[in-house]
Amino acid sequence: MANNSVGNTGRVLWAGLRALLVLTVITGVLYPLAVTGIAQLAFPGKANGSEIESGGEVVGSELIGQTYNLPLKDGEETAAPDLKWFQPRPSNGLGTNSVNTQYKLILSGATNRSGDNEDLITWVKDAKAAVIKDNSTASYTVKPSDVPADAVTSSGSGLDPHISPEYAKLQVHRIAEKNHLTVAQVDKLVAGHTDDRILGFIGEPRVNVLKLNIALKELTRG
C-alpha cells in the first residue's frame, strides 16, 4: 500500500511538472513571441510606443505628455514653464504634494481629491491666475471666463498628451509674441493640428501638444 501511494504521488507530481513546463513554454515563450512578431509586422509604430521623431531623433511618445519648462534654477522645486512653447494641461495635481507634477512616467493616476477639497480649490485658483497672467499680452487680455477646464486640471492618468482646441487657441497670442510670428500663422498651426472626434462621435476634439510644438519649431526655423 505504501509503495502504491508513493508511486501514485510521484506520477501526479510528474504529470503536474510536465503540464507546468509545457504551459510555460506555450504561454510564457511562444505566445509572447508570436504576439510581438505580429505586432511588429502589422503595427510597428504602435508596438514600439508610438514614438515621435524630430530632426532624426525620438523626442517623445504620441501617447505620453511632457513638460516644456525652463532649466531648473537653484532653490526652485518646480521649474517655470518656457512660454515660447505651447503648454500642456497640468500633470496629476497642481501642488507640490500631488501624485505627479512633472509627467513622471513611474506615476499615473488621479489625485482622488473631491471637488470641495480646499487644497484642490486653491491649486485650481492659482493655476487659473497663472494661465491668465502668462497668456495675456500687450494686445490681448485673457478673461477668467476664457480659461477652459483642462488648462487648470489634470487628466485622470496625469499623463494626457492632448489639450482642448480652446486651450490651444488661448495660447496663440502668447506664442505669436514670444516667437515673433503673426497671430494668423499660429492660428493656422493650431487648426492644422486639431484632431476631430474618433469616427466622428467618440471623444472630443483634441490637440497633441508635442506634435504642435514640433510644428511650431519648424515654423520658427523657416
- Three-state secondary-structure class, residue 144: helix
Q: Which grid coordinates are listed for 128?
A: 487659473
What confidence tens digit (pLDDT) does each residue in 24-46 have?
999 999 999 999 999 989 888 88
Whole-model pTM: value is 0.79
Among 31-45, 70-84, 92-106, the minimum mean pLDDT is found in 92-106
Supply the pLDDT for residue 100. 43
Contact 105, 75 (CB under 8 A): no
Q: Which residues pair with 15 in a beta bridge?
A: none
Examine the pLDDT at 96 and tell me if it is beyond 70. Answer: no
- Alpha carbon 122 to its chain's center: 24
Q: Which of the pair, 149 or 110, is modelled with greater confidence?
A: 149
What confidence tens digit (pLDDT) does each residue in 159-207 have?
889 999 999 999 999 999 999 999 999 999 999 999 999 998 999 999 9
Confidence of residue 72 (pLDDT cuts 50, 70, 90): confident
